Structure 1
Amino acid sequence: MKILLIRNDNIGDLVCSTPCFEALKKKYPKAQIDIIVNSLNAPVVIGEGGHNPYLDKIYIYTKTKHTKGVYTKIKALFHKGWILFCLLKQSYDVVAILRIAPSKYSTLFAKCARGKICYGAGSKEDSRIKGIPNFVETPITSHHEVMVCFDILAPLGVEYGGEKTIYAYPHCYNNRNMPPYILFHISSRRLKDNPYPLEYLEEIIKALPFVVVIGDSDDKFRCEALAKLQNCQYQNTKTLDEVAALARGALLTLAFEGGVAHIFGACNAKAITIFDKVNIARWGTWGKIEWCLQSESKNAKDIKPQIIIEKVFALLQKDSIY
């Protein structure tokens, strides 16, 4: 059997799909299971040497909005065309669009794959779905994104069996010159225009043991300011693999809602996530929902530092769940 999975959206979305990859491989151990991802989220599934134990071929395309310059845009378009050509030749038995709603390119990939059957959420009346060969709408009965993926694969007999989210890169950050640390990702694209106050971050870090801070490029100034604290160090990470390695080596991770929070949850048994307006029931860090923090106002600023500090020490004292 040849199966094609399509998961071409954000980093956190792909992390939330990883439990179903393992379950699918358990159900069909001899099947060829391929996947289409984009260059932004691809590191989630690319293991060491490009090997993933649950996936065979990993097709990676670059979204033109993530490119700069005419040449790189043209190159990205030609590579996307090459992927479409490869899909046309494969003759997949099953195509599954692992999204709560189809997109322009997930639909295009599904059309070119020409699966004998295609499973996905959404109605056949949706203009984006029309033209997908043999499309079958799968009812979505679950709320969390992890379980939505299992809903989509349910017609294949794939069931959730306690699988965890996974980040494929296997290595752990190991610096003998650094004391045991808490890893704190201080950025969130959803809080870009209304960031968590710097003075709150300082209060949290001062109350904790040694802290390593990381953040998006827009938050470099804030990270450097925090690194002036005696018990804090700034790591200027360049790749998601570096982020994952730091998370694996940490005593505990702290993050604001977003893709990095899901990476932390996949790489560390002790992960606390601070939420703003996003629905925890849908996007809470899988396996760590009880350690997701959200104020009644659904404004991250209303989660005071002392609440976060207390959560950190409570989780540090808790035995590892792995």
Structure 2
Amino acid sequence: MSSDTTQYARRFLVIRRDNIGDLVCTTPLIHALRQRYPKARLCLLVNSYNRPVVENNPDIDEVYAYTKAKHRAPGQSVLGVYWDRLRLMRSLRRQRFDYAIIAAPHFLPRVLRLARAIGPQHILGFTEPGRRGAEHIDMGVPYTLPRPLHEAEDIFRLLTPLGIAGEPPAMRIFPEATAVARVQAALREKDLAPDKIIGVHISARKPLNRWPAEKFAALIRRLREKHAAAFMLFWSPGSAANPLHPGDDEKARQIMGALGDVPILAYPTDRLDQLIAGLSLCRAVVCSDGGAMHIAAALDKPILCFFGKSDRTRWYPWRARHVLLQPSSLNVADIGVDEAASAFERLLAPGALQGNAAGAKRNQGISD
């Protein structure tokens, strides 16, 4: 497309409806779009569960969110959820967006139907040969992978019709001030020094990404002895027996019970803004592959991450300093405490825990 695009590209709607990590990995696209079109109106359509990922982001003028039926509030009917969504679509249609960007890999007919219902002048998205409906994407990018790509790199290719190319910038998240203040108050109540805090997130959606409680406890004790560190323990609250929303309350109690003399703040997070705020105050983070890892990367934290049956090329912490451990069995439980402790030492290049000096080299990752 010619460079005169900048003369009329005034209203953008980026659509990303997926999981936490997917949305975090879309923030480089959003930032590059804002850098190219500083005066444009740039809006985002997400789901209500993931909304805190992009709230407070200075690149975005407005965040619109709809609720998935499975995320509806207690007492809210499925019919009510869909009625609210219809009203939102009508509101978005009235804004007459110039561009809707379907920010997701592959050709997605369902999201395309949503984009068409909003009525933008142009639709950007991936196309695939022989897929019905692809003709409605007038600024399409053929979905082929020239090489294995990170999620952030893959999605970033959608900007090529607008003349934006190259390596995506770092991911970006901006914690909510009130949520940060609550974490700071909780740390003061426990008399924990913020500059000593290592965040440890023990939950993982995929079973093969779950490290055992006894290994977490042993690693925390090692790091305490080696670095005189204090800790925040993060997890998804609830019982592991809950079939709809399994949590890690039992696992957290086991870890806390083994660490009676270790300075540690237990911080279960049932809301995403709580997790973002908590991780923002940590000097380094230990976690498995998942949403918390991508949030930590977007907050520019050094990360020790455990990968089970996950695509490490696609999902490593983009442009964040990290050490990635993935056993040949693809089962995180097989990572030993000695191995994890040694990996954490490699993560701590000089100054890594003093103001995150390693952040100057955002793309420095160390993979084993």
Question: What's the TM-score, normalizing by structure 1?
Answer: 0.90
Partner of 2:3: none
Partner of 1:71: 76
Partner of 2:151: 145
Q: Quick check: 1:272 aligned with 2:287?
A: no
Give the SS at the match of 1:321: helix
Alpha-carbon distance change, 36 to 140 in structure 1, aligned in 2, over 3 angstroms: farther
Give the root-mean-square deviation of aligned CA atoms: 2.3
Superimposed CA distance per residue, residues 112-164 of structure 1 (whole angstroms, 9 cap, x where no aligned partner): 1222221112326324x457463523445461111112101111112346621
Instruction: Report the CA distance between 1:102 and its aligned residue.
Output: 4.4
**What amino acid does structure 2 have at the position aligned with 1:36?**
L
Partner of 1:207: 222
Count residues with an aligned counterpart. Answer: 316
Question: What's the TM-score, normalizing by structure 2?
Answer: 0.79
Give the SS at the match of 1:37: strand
Name whichever of 64-73 and 211-220 sits farther off. Answer: 64-73
Q: What is the alpha-carbon distance in structure 2 between the residues aligned to residue 194 and residue 25 of structure 1? A: 35
Q: Would you say the 8 A contact 2:151–2:314 is kept in 1? A: yes
Partner of 2:44: 35
Alpha-carbon distance change, 227 to 25 in structure 1, aligned in 2, over 3 angstroms: same
Question: Which of 192, 195, 205 lines up with 1:178 in the alignment?
Answer: 192
Q: Specify every segment of 5 or more residues in structure 1 that has no aligned partner in the other structure, as ranges.
A: none
Partner of 1:114: 119
Alpha-carbon distance change, 155 to 133 in structure 1, aligned in 2, over 3 angstroms: closer
Give the SS at the match of 2:46: strand
Partner of 1:223: 252
**What amino acid does structure 1 have at the position aligned with 2:171?**
T
Partner of 1:8: 17
Q: What percentage of aligned pairs have identical amino acids?
A: 26
Partner of 2:282: 250
Alpha-carbon distance change, 162 to 130 in structure 1, aligned in 2, over 3 angstroms: closer
Q: Would you say the 8 A contact 1:23–1:160 is kept in 2? A: no
Q: What is the alpha-carbon distance in structure 2 between the residues aligned to residue 145 and residue 256 of structure 1? A: 17
Q: Specify every segment of 5 or more residues in structure 2 that has no aligned partner in the other structure, as ranges.
A: 1-9, 225-229, 238-246, 352-356, 360-368
Partner of 2:96: 91
Alpha-carbon distance change, 208 to 235 in structure 1, aligned in 2, over 3 angstroms: same
Superimposed CA distance per residue, residues 71-117 of structure 1 (whole angstroms, 9 cap, x where no aligned partner): 33222211110121123222222211110134464223211122222
Q: What is the alpha-carbon distance in structure 2 between the residues aligned to residue 133 and residue 235 of structure 1? A: 45
Q: Would you say the 8 A contact 2:11–2:99 is kept in 1? A: yes
